[in-house]
Amino acid sequence: MDTLGILSPRELEALRAGYNRKMLLALAPQLVAYSKLAPETSWIAQAVYAAPPNSTGPSGSAGPPPAPTCLTPWEREIVVLSLAMAKRDLFTMPAHLYWALMELLEHRVERPVEKLADVIMTAGTYSGIDDARWGISVLNKLLSALGTAVTKNLTTTQQLLVDPDTGVPGVIPQTFPAI
């Protein structure tokens, strides 16, 4: 199936309704499980992700909080996805494709899946056609997994990524079992 036809508007809406940005902002800094790195992850959360201080997980930064980014969440995700693709980062890529898709849906942007595919197309033009193939393959696999998840009524960010209380991986890490 063509990338643009994998998820229906109804399925996209179900995913949007289950999206929880706060949870993602709190989850991300906890992914680097080494306490000495806590100040760095805290800085990233606040400066790059513009997360409020109480949602950043581990703390420990010295001095005043950094000035937050002036990029929108979608613009930030454009950059993160482009790099994940250039680096073939299978951990970062599917989770951030989900994040980017949700931000586009939250802001009612038209043709959100096509926007994601176009980011991959553009990045692939500059990083290589092999990266474009890889990126589109990851996107297609993710969209298919999300479609299956919707049919099983698994649409919340918690169900799709990870249960923050139990640590049980959700649909996306189960589909892409990368470190």
Partner 1 sequence: MPKTAVKRRLHTREMPAYDGDQAGSPGGEPQSAPTPSVAMPDEDTLAILSEDGLAALKQGYNAQVFASLAKGMIRYPKLDGEVEWIGDNLYRTQVRPSTGYSTAEAASADAVRTTLNATEREMVVLAVAVAKRDLFTMAGHIYWALMETKHNPVERVADALITAGTYCGVDSTRWAVAVYRKVLAVLRAAVADGFKDTKSLLTLRYPQEFPEY
Question: Which chain residues interact with partner 1 by CB under 8 A?
Answer: 44, 47-48, 69-71, 75-76, 78-80, 82-87, 92, 111, 114-115, 118-119, 121-123, 125-127
Q: Judge contact between 160 and 170, C-beta under 8 A.
A: yes
Nearer to partner 1, 59 or 122 (CB): 122
d(CA 159, CA 172): 9
Give the list of residues 6+ apart from residue 80 with CB closer than 8 angstroms, or none. Answer: 92, 96
> For residue 146, with 0-12 CB atoms within 10 Å meaning exposed, 13-18 middle and 19 or more buried, which class applies?
buried
Tell me the chain's radius of gyration from C-alpha atoms.
Answer: 16
Minimal distance in Å, beta carbon 105 to partner 1? Answer: 15
Nearer to partner 1, 92 or 155 (CB): 92
Minimal distance in Å, beta carbon 148 to partner 1? Answer: 26
Nearer to partner 1, 130 or 163 (CB): 130
Which one, of 26, 33, 32, 8, lies nearest residue 161 by Cα? 26
Minimal distance in Å, beta carbon 119 to partner 1? Answer: 6
Minimal distance in Å, beta carbon 117 to partner 1? Answer: 9
Phi, psi of 53 (to 5 degrees): -55, -35
Nearer to partner 1, 24 or 80 (CB): 80
Minimal distance in Å, beta carbon 126 to partner 1? Answer: 4
Nearer to partner 1, 19 or 74 (CB): 74
Helix (H, G, I), strand (E, B) or coil at 162: strand
> For residue 159, with 0-12 CB atoms within 10 Å meaning exposed, 13-18 middle and 19 or more buried, which class applies?
middle
